[in-house]
Chain A
Amino acid sequence: MTMSDDGRPADIVLRLAGISKRFGDLRANDDISLELRRGEVLALLGENGAGKTTLMNILFGHYVADAGRIEAFGRPLLPGSPRAALDAGIGMVHQHFTLADNLTVQDNIVLGTEKLWSWRGHTARARARIANLAADFGLAVDPAKRIADLSVGERQRVEILKALYREARILILDEPTAVLTPQESEALFATLKKLVANGLSIIFISHKLNEVLAVSDRIVVLRQGRVVATRPTQGATSADLAELMVGRAVPMPKIEPQAAGAELLVLSGVRLVGPEGRAELDDVALAVREGEVHGLAGVSGNGQAALADLLCGLRRADAGSFRLLDQDMTGAETASIARLMGRIPEDRHAVGLIGDMSITENMIAERYRAAPFARHRLIDWRAARRFTQDIIAGFDVRCPGPQATTRLLSGGNMQKLILGRELSGEPRIILAAQPTRGLDIGAVAYVHEQLLAARRRGAGILLISEDLDELLSLSDRISVIYRGRLSAALPRAEFDVGRIGLMMAGHGFDGARHAA
Chain B
Amino acid sequence: MRLEPRVETPFYLWIAAPIAAIAASLVIAALLVMWAGAEPFAVFGLVAKGALGSQFALLETLTRATPLIFTGLAAAIAFRARLWNIGGEAQLYGGAVLAVLLGTGFLPLPAPVLVPLLFIAGAFAGALLLLGPTMLKTRFGVDEVVTTLLLNFIILLFVSFLLEGPLKDPMGLGWPQSRRVIEAAQLPRIIEGKRLHLGFVIAIAMAAIVWFVNARTTHGYEMRAVGFNPKAARFAGMKVDWVMMKVALFSGGLAAMAGVSEVTGLKGNLTLDLSPGFGYSGIVVAMLAMLHPLGVVAASIFVAAMFVGADAMSRQAGVPNYIAHVMVATALLTMVVGMLFTRFRVHWR
Asked whether B236 is an interface residue with its Cβ less than 8 Å from the other chain, the reply is yes
Judge whether A178 is part of the interface by a CB distance below 8 angstroms: no
Q: Which of A286-294, A352-360, A479-487 contacts B (4 or more CB under 8 A)?
A: A352-360
CB of A334 within 8 A of CB of B221, answer no
Give the residues in chain A near B239, CB-CB below 8 Å.
333
Taking a contact as CB atoms closer than 8 A, the residue among B217, B218, B225 that contacts A357 in the complex is: B225
Cβ contact of A365, chosen from B7, B219, B225, cutoff 8 A: B225
Taking CB atoms, residues of chain A closer than 8 Å to B218 are 368-369, 374, 377-379
The answer to whether B228 touches A334, judged by C-beta atoms less than 8 angstroms apart, is no
What B residues does A313 contact at CB under 8 A?
Answer: 237
| Residue A338 CB within 8 A of the other chain | yes
* Chain B residues, Cβ within 8 Å of A334: 234-237
For A379, list chain B residues within 8 Å (CB): 216-218, 221
Binary interface encoding of chain A residues 344-371 relative to chain B, with 1 for a CB under 8 A from any of its CBs, else 0? 0100001111111100010001101100
How many interface contacts (CB-CB < 8 Å) are there between A and B?
A: 76
Task: Mark each residue of chain B from 189 to 223: 1 if its CB lies under 8 Å from any CB of chain A, else 0.
Answer: 00000000000000000000000000011110110
Q: Are A368 and B7 in contact (CB under 8 A)?
A: no
Instruction: A23 to B345: give the CA distance in the assembly, Å.
Output: 11
A335-B237, A378-B217 known; A365-B8 Cβ under 8 A: no
Contacts of B219 in A (CB 8 A): 377
Asked whether any CB of chain A lies closer than 8 Å to the CB of B329, the reply is: no
Given A354-B225, A361-B225: A377 and B8 interface contact (C-beta under 8 Å): no
Chain A 301-328 interface residues, beta-carbon cutoff 8 Å to B: 312-314
Q: Which of A379-410 contact B (CB under 8 A)?
A: 379, 381, 405, 408
By a CB distance below 8 angstroms, the chain B residues around A352 are 232, 235
* A377-B217, A408-B7 as given contacts; A351 in contact with B231, CB under 8 Å: yes
**B10 CB → nearest A CB, Å:** 13
Whole-angstrom distance between the alpha carbons of A508 and B187 in the complex?
Answer: 79
Q: Are B235 and A345 in contact (CB under 8 A)?
A: yes
A25 contacts the other chain (CB 8 A): yes
- Report the Cα distance A357→B217, complex, angstroms: 15
**Complexed CA–CA distance, A378 and B215 (Å):** 9
Q: Which of B7, B8, B232 is most buried by chain A, counting CB atoms within 10 A of its CB?
A: B232
Q: Are B237 and A366 in contact (CB under 8 A)?
A: yes
**Bound Cα distance A357, B80 (Å):** 12
List residues of chain B with CB within 8 A of the CB of A338.
236-237
C-alpha gap A466/B35 in the complex (Å)? 67
A24 at the interface (CB under 8 A from B): yes
- Residues A356 and B228 in contact, CB atoms below 8 Å apart: yes
B147-177: CB near A (< 8 Å → 1, else 0) gives 0000000000000000000000000000000
Q: How far apart are A355's CB and chain B's nearest CB, in angstroms?
A: 7
**Complex contacts, A351 vs chain B, CB 8 Å:** 231-232, 235
Write the chain A residue with the least CB distance to B9.
Answer: A405
Q: A350-B231, A354-B229, A368-B221 are known contacts. Are A24 and B5 too (CB-CB below 8 A)?
A: yes
Q: Nearest Cβ in chain A — how far from B334, in angstroms?
A: 23
> Which of B4, B5, B218, B237: most chain A CB closer than 10 A?
B237
Do A24 and B232 touch (CB < 8 A)?
no
What residues of B have a CB within 8 angstroms of the CB of A357 in the complex? 224-225, 228
Instruction: Return the contact of B237 from the options A333, A345, A354, A377 (Cβ within 8 A).
Output: A333
Closest chain A residue, CB of each to CB of B212: A378
Residues of B within 8 A of A356 (CB): 228-229
B233 within 8 A of A: yes
A442 to chain B, nearest CB (A): 21
Nearest B residue to A312 via CB reads B235
Do residues A354 and B232 form an inter-chain contact, with CB atoms below 8 A? yes
Q: Which 9 A-B pairs have the closest CB atoms?
A: A335-B237, A365-B236, A354-B229, A334-B237, A356-B228, A338-B237, A354-B232, A354-B228, A351-B235
